Amino acid sequence: MPRPKQWPHSQGGERVGLVCRACGCQDFRVVYVKHRPGGIVIRRRECRHCGRRVLTREVQV
């Protein structure tokens, strides 16, 4: 499964280490959640500070 390149503030976990690459904060709100077949959850998050949107893909087991 392809992974995005390592983020500088990553702490080893994609969920916990989600950091806005524009302003560096970790304060996101979820805009929407989309479920895909195979237990994949797509979440679009928006930075509360600068409004940058980040798409995360998680696999639920």
Closer CB to Zn ion, 3 or 29, in the complex: 29
Torsion angle (degrees, nearest 10) of CA 7, 8, 13, 16? -100
Minimum Å distance from CB 7 to Zn ion?
13
Minimum Å distance from CB 49 to Zn ion?
4
* Distance separating the N- and C-terminal Cα atoms of the chain: 15
Closer CB to Zn ion, 27 or 58, in the complex: 27
Minimum Å distance from CB 59 to Zn ion?
25
Q: Which residues of this chain interact with Zn ion, rule CB under 5 A? A: 20, 22-23, 47, 49-50, 52
